[in-house]
Amino acid sequence: MNCAETLLPSLPAALPANACFAIVAPAGAARLDTHKVSQWFADRGYSCRLYPAVNQAQGYLAGSDQQRLQDLHDAFADPAIDAILCMRGGYGSMRLLDRLDFDLIRRNPKPLIGYSDITALHTAIYRHSGLVTFHGGMLNADLLGAKLPPTESSLLAQLAGHVRAGEQIVHPTDYPLSSVLAGVASGPLLGGNLSMLGATMGTLAELDTQGCILFIEDVNEPLYRVDRLLTQLRLAGKLEGVKGVLVGDFAGITTAALAPLLEETFAPLGIPVLAGWRSGHCDPNVCLPLGARVRLDSDRQRLVLEQDLFKA
């Protein structure tokens, strides 16, 4: 599916004031204070439902593959659920890809929220259902971890439909951006964790980058590994046809250190590259709507939404 020629994205309904969130664990295990979780949602006028794998552990996984998969399917299928929030990343989402029911997801479009390992779900679900999903704060480290604004506010504002076509996705002014390569470009915003984008090459979650604005971020990867991952994408032809690049947080690597590699990789393509965006394994962690059409303006250091995120 060519991003530039794809069908209109599958859009869910905006979050109602009394929304019910499904809490799922498609990847790693974690301990949760269920009272604290319930109170967090109640304080914001919401409710939540914790699915079984959230309270399970099977080694480094939150329960069995079958349980984690069933939780995802049940959350999408349940009409009482308005949004699906991942507990954490870690590892495990890839193990579910070949058994995901994309028809079920297409029939029941709902916001799916997460990042890191959840990138595998984002890319697969967009590719096979066209659903716009959200690269945003997860329950364990981000929302219960009380990360700095606008971690929570950017997520809830987008889910509620308060960010409309023609409006900027606001980036915190305390964190300067870097216009690595100048220019303006439009396309669906796709991508996520760079390591996961590499790991899903050759699978049904392989990202089709044609015509897209590519977003990348990562954690615990030294510069030479980032080079290796970008080189992998280049050699696989995944950078040909990319319209622009939004570079999120690369924990442990400054934008200044990353910039020469970005220039070397993307300058031959003649596309804009904007770096330093606070999305990923960072604090704050700004929410991004994956699959939605955006305009990347590296000259003015802006990211503008070009479509509404929810059905009328």
Active site residue ranges = 116, 217, 281
Do 241 and 32 meet the contact criterion of CB atoms below 8 Å apart? no
Q: Residue 246: which of 207, 195, 174, 191 has the closest Cα?
A: 191
How far is Cα 33 from Cα 188, in angstroms, rounded to an integer? 37
182-to-138, 167, 245, 269, 274 alpha-carbon distances in Å: 32, 21, 11, 12, 8
In this structure, the number of other CB atoms found within 10 A of the CB of residue 228 comes to 12
Contacts of 293 (CB under 8 A, 6+ apart): 9, 186, 187, 188, 189, 305, 306, 307
Reading the block at residue 44, the tokens are 């914001």
How far is Cα 264 from Cα 246, in angstroms, rounded to an integer? 16
How far is Cα 244 from Cα 225, in angstroms, rounded to an integer? 22
Helix spans in the chain (H): 34-43, 65-77, 102-107, 119-129, 151-159, 194-199, 223-235, 255-266
Do 105 and 121 meet the contact criterion of CB atoms below 8 Å apart? no
How far is Cα 277 from Cα 280, in angstroms, rounded to an integer? 9
In this structure, the number of other CB atoms found within 10 A of the CB of residue 306 comes to 15
184-193/213-218 β-pairing: parallel
How far is Cα 305 from Cα 290, in angstroms, rounded to an integer? 11
